[in-house]
Amino acid sequence: MFEDIKPHLVELRKRLVICVLSVIVAFLICFNFWEAILDFMTQPLVKILPKGSEIIFTQLAEAFFTAMKVSFFAGLLISMPIIFWQFWLFVAPGLYDNEKKYVIPFVVSASVMFALGAAFCYYFVIPVAYDFLINFGEKLFTAMPKIGEYVGFFTKLIVAFGISFELPVITFFLAKLGVINDKSLSEFFRYAIVIIFVFAAIMTPPDVLSQFMLAVPLVLLYGISILIAKAVNPAKPEENSDEEDDEDE
């Protein structure tokens, strides 16, 4: 049994090494431009800071580790197409020849949807969420957000929305491979709602507004995924008739 698994483990290690190396190379490149990247990341925060407020750091090494985080995050985003490519190459040996042709559409669509999710978060979610959080008590307190905490929240939100926007892409290819259909997704909908809100609570700052701003688009994307599955791999009529018979009994 181990001999059967060993080739897959070797292949997995190969793909992971390539992914890690791509992130490291991108990280080293981005580290030379970390100040410009950080300036771009902090623009949504700077625009909503009240007069007299400023971004600060309170620990000796916070600025250095922030530069490391920013560079790693930017390197990870740049490496996403390579990571998607390696993921496809790992699963490709188990696919039929006519299914392997989807490698380029998968890599391109996955990269584009991740970018769309990140852009939606950057231009809409972050400004709205942080405007609420920072200006909530501005009459009583002076906002002095720490750069380390902001970068941490920023990266979590961007990654969360980027991953969330992959749902239609993943659904399309799983439906194309016959793994799922619209019926299976519809039946799982009630459980998906719970999973979505738990995921939103983990990945967002501890406020209801940002949680809903992640959860609501995810629910909509799940609904779109059901329509995609119905178009690509609709449930067979006998499956629907069996379900109706079970309900009658």
Give the count of domains, the chain. Answer: 1
240 in any annotated domain = no
Range of the domain at 31: 1-232
Q: Is residue 218 part of a domain?
A: yes
Residue 238 resides in a domain: no
132 belongs to a structural domain: yes
- Predicted confidence at residue 3, as pLDDT, reads 59
- Residue 242 counted as domain residue: no
What pLDDT is attached to residue 115? 92
Cross-strand partners of 146: 56
Distance of CA 19 to the CA centre of its chain: 17
pLDDT in tens, 24-46: 999 999 999 999 999 999 998 88
Look up the pTM and report it: 0.81
Contact status, residue 38 vs residue 55, Cβ threshold 8 Å: no
Determine which helix (DSSP H) or strand (DSSP E) holds 4, and give its type and residue range.
helix 2-31
Q: What is the dihedral of CA 137, 139, 142, 148, to 10 degrees?
A: 20
- In a structure prediction context, what are the per-residue pLDDT tens digits for the chain, which is 249 residues long? 445 567 778 888 899 999 999 999 999 999 999 999 999 999 988 888 888 788 888 888 888 999 999 999 999 999 999 998 888 888 877 777 777 777 788 888 988 999 999 999 999 988 888 888 787 776 777 888 899 888 988 998 899 899 899 999 989 888 887 888 889 899 999 999 999 999 888 887 777 777 888 899 999 999 999 999 999 888 877 655 555 555 554
Whether residue 83 is contained in a domain is answered as yes
Q: Given CA atoms 139, 145, 149, 154 in this order, what sign does their dihedral have?
A: positive
Positive or negative, the CA dihedral 169, 175, 176, 179 is positive
pLDDT of the residue at 241? 52
Which tens digits make up the pLDDT trace of 88-135?
A: 888 877 777 777 777 788 888 988 999 999 999 999 988 888 888 787
Inside any domain, residue 247: no
